[in-house]
Structure 1
């Protein structure tokens, strides 16, 4: 690695760490380019030499807050070999943490980052490889998918391989469960109801379980519809 690349990585780390600290101390909504620059000891113009916009910096810093979620989902999914339970555990963990820290999950999974979100993800794990190494190898491909639908397809894939769902049924489950989560998440994020994060998760998982159990039960009585 040449000196230019080393400097770039060092500067990225300075600004990402400063953003992370501001989120912790002042709150997500209070982060600005000027505050990040002051915290890191540089001027605002310097940040734009390394990050295209504030959303990219927030994205990188937000990924660092996902560590507890990633550790939990990895640990819990390893407790069972049942593909249905693994799928439900994945949703349990995702909904729990997304409702606890909605600003972080909004930034990582839903915020408009421009045309190259996968490139940003790859850059993050290149900068912080230990975050990726701590995740079981079977789950690592999902971490490189920011798109919720694509991540869902990866998670539900084992149900298709086990013959519990046809490909079409799996796609339907993926779409329905994502819609349930997105609806509740958006409602909670925008303060459109009075649910606590725990209540929101409980209701979300109730609907997701019903969808999965219905489709898995249906697959046992319907002919395959993959064609």
Structure 2
């Protein structure tokens, strides 16, 4: 085993262990001490391979994003125009994320102790796919350039720009629509993260989808 292979193997062990803890106990139960005990490595080793625990949790949470990436193609296939595509993208994203609200909060609203906007999303994903090449998506929609963005604001902005290009909304509506949609999504996702009740989570998911869809009424073009 080469030095690089050993490094990737140890990272994979830490991430796999974190994923197991998340699945069995919940993301809030992840701790350095618990990971160290299960893997047999001390906490100093963890910090050798990851910036901090939050960064390890972020990388581990990406394992749960696969279903959302792979299922999008089929979900939006019936869309008749870009506006319907945009609505269906949000609908599918909400249905995936409200099943695991704490995990998606970790991915998109992580409590990292450094400015996440200064992290290149491509670098985070590049590191993840070096460790898990089998998780690299094999098919994309025309939204390939936004699917893997971890910055939701920029991600949604690109979808809205496409609606401007197709004359469904006007340019001046991008910022208010984007702000409103993300505020709605984040607020209701945080509420969903507070409960384990599936019916309540589904109710909040439906509410998010409905409110986010209504945001497009900001535009007189619709």
Range of TM-score over shorter length: 0.7 to 0.9
Tell me the equivalent position of 1:219. Answer: 221
RMSD: 2.4
User: 1:59-78, aligned counterparts within 5 Å?
Assistant: 59-78=58-77
Is the CA contact 1:33–1:44 (under 8 Å) kept in the aligned structure 2?
Answer: yes
Is the CA contact 2:79–2:88 (under 8 Å) kept in the aligned structure 1?
Answer: no
Is the CA contact 1:176–1:211 (under 8 Å) kept in the aligned structure 2?
Answer: yes
Tell me the equivalent position of 2:186. Answer: 182
Tell me the equivalent position of 1:146. Answer: 150
Is the CA contact 1:32–1:54 (under 8 Å) kept in the aligned structure 2?
Answer: yes
Is the CA contact 1:117–1:146 (under 8 Å) kept in the aligned structure 2?
Answer: no
Residue segments in structure 2 that go unaligned for 5+ positions in a row: none
User: 1:17-32, aligned counterparts within 5 Å?
Assistant: 17-32=16-31
Please state how far the C-alpha of 1:92 moved relative to its aligned partner. 0.7
Alignment partners' CA distance in 2, 1:63 and 1:122: 12
Tell me the equivalent position of 1:16. Answer: 15
Structure with the greater alpha carbon radius of gyration: 1
TM-score by length of 1: 0.84
Tell me, yes or no, if structure 1 residue 80 matches structure 2 residue 89: no
Aligned pairs, number: 216
Cα deviation 1:90-123 (Å, max 9, x = unaligned): 1111212222211101110001332426232331
Alignment partners' CA distance in 2, 1:130 and 1:154: 27
The 1:96–1:133 alpha-carbon spacing in structure 2 relative to 1, beyond 3 Å, is closer
User: 1:120-131, aligned counterparts within 5 Å?
Assistant: 120-131=124-135
Is the CA contact 2:97–2:104 (under 8 Å) kept in the aligned structure 1?
Answer: yes
Please state how far the C-alpha of 1:48 moved relative to its aligned partner. 1.2
Q: Which has the higher contact order (CA 8 A, sep 6+)?
A: 2
Is the CA contact 1:160–1:166 (under 8 Å) kept in the aligned structure 2?
Answer: yes
Tell me the equivalent position of 1:164. Answer: 168
Please state how far the C-alpha of 1:153 moved relative to its aligned partner. 1.0
Is the CA contact 2:101–2:190 (under 8 Å) kept in the aligned structure 1?
Answer: no
TM-score by length of 2: 0.86
Alignment partners' CA distance in 1, 2:80 and 2:127: 32
The 1:27–1:3 alpha-carbon spacing in structure 2 relative to 1, beyond 3 Å, is same
Is the CA contact 1:20–1:62 (under 8 Å) kept in the aligned structure 2?
Answer: yes
Q: Give SS of 1:136's match.
A: coil
User: Which segment drifts farther, 166-175 or 62-71?
Assistant: 166-175
